[in-house]
Structure formats: C-alpha cells, structure tokens
Amino acid sequence: MLTNALLILGVLVVGVLVYAAFSEDTFRVERHVVIDRPAREIFPLLEDFRQWRLWSPWEDLDPALARVYAGADRGAGAEYAWEGNSKAGKGRMVITRADTPTHLTIDLSFEKPFKAENNAAFDLEPEGSGTRVTWALYGPLPYLSKVMSTFVSMDRLIGRDFERGLQKLKHAAEAPGSGVVSDPLPSPMHPEYSAGTRPQHSG
C-alpha cells in the first residue's frame, strides 16, 4: 500500500513539473469596472501615487506602511516605494507612460515577500454615461511560479485584489464631494511619514 501511494505521488509530482514546463511563460491578470464619472475626473486618482491611499487594495495591509515619493508629482516619471509588514511587503513603482486621461503604464519591482519585475496598465474608455476602467498586470512567469500556478492561478491570486481595488476606486470617484487627498504632504522628493503620524512643524 505504501509503495503504491509513493508511486502515485511520484507520478503526480512529475505530472505537475512537466505541465509547468510546457505552460505559458507569461501571465496577464485583468479586471474592469464602470465608473459614473468622466475619465478626466478618474485619471488624477491613478496618475498621482499619493491618491492610491484612497482606493488601493493593499494600502490597508499595514497601518504603519512606510511610503517614499520621488520624481515627478504625477504622470510619467512619478515614483513610489513602500515597505511594510509581511503582508504589504516591499517594492517600487514608476509611471513610464501617461496619456491623459486614457492610459497609464507602470513598471513594478517587488522585493518582498518575493522578487519580481512586472508591468501594470490602466485604460479608461467611455462607456454609456461613464467610464470603463481596465486594470491589468502582466509579466514573465518563472518556472517556480508556473509550478505554483498549477494549484492557485495568478488570475485567482491577484484578481480578487483588483476587483476590490476597482470597487474602492469607483466609490472614491463617485462619492459626493469626492476629490484627491488634501492632507498636507511633504515634498515628493522626501519620504512621507508613516500612516498614523504627522510631520512636526516648528514655529
């Protein structure tokens, strides 16, 4: 019985490894939402990383999340680095293309809890009286990730976060009196204070 069980297990393991070897070397996760606002009112929430606190599904994973903004205030050249607990991880984003108010491309570098280089894109298109916002993440799929994806696909792993984030984006854009974050913030070339604290002002 034990020999048969080990044999079956071995066959399953080999099957998974072979399947992973011949599966796609890239991935793409995509979700969309229709927001009852024109694109010009939604785009500022995307092209300015400070505004991501209003809707990003990962911003609430660590109350003490450390954020650093650099480069341009918004649009192409804007940079955002973060570091937090084991759930939030550590990484950096750079906006490489901004076609106001229809398209945004972002380079992502993850350092923790795993290393990866991916890209994200936002596309805004008119739909009815509102705007269809499509959020996509795509990039290479290393062999180990392909093995893992045989059990939990990237679409399932990330898709739920995208859906939650897009619903929060919809709420932020459609809420009465909605607008960008207006709290005082430091210069984009300096680290932002951790959540829950405020910079001290002299005088």
Digit-coded pLDDT (tens) for 115-143: 889 999 999 999 999 999 999 999 977 54
pLDDT at res. 178: 62
**What contacts 74, CB < 8 A, 6 or more positions away?**
44, 47, 48, 49, 95, 98
pLDDT at residue number 181: 52
Give the per-residue pLDDT at 25.
66
Cβ distance 78 to 95 under 8 Å? yes
Per-residue model confidence as pLDDT tens digits over 176-193? 766 555 443 443 434 454
Question: What confidence score (pLDDT) does residue 9 get?
Answer: 52
User: Mean pLDDT throughout 11-37?
Assistant: 69
Note the pLDDT of residue 190. 42
Q: What would the CATH number be for the domain defined by 26-174?
A: 3.30.530.20
Sheet holding 90-99, edge to edge: 26-35, 130-140, 116-127, 103-112, 90-99, 78-83, 66-71
CA–CA dist 175, 171 (Å, integer):
6
pTM value is 0.76
Instruction: Give dist(CA 128, CA 37) in Å, integer.
Output: 10
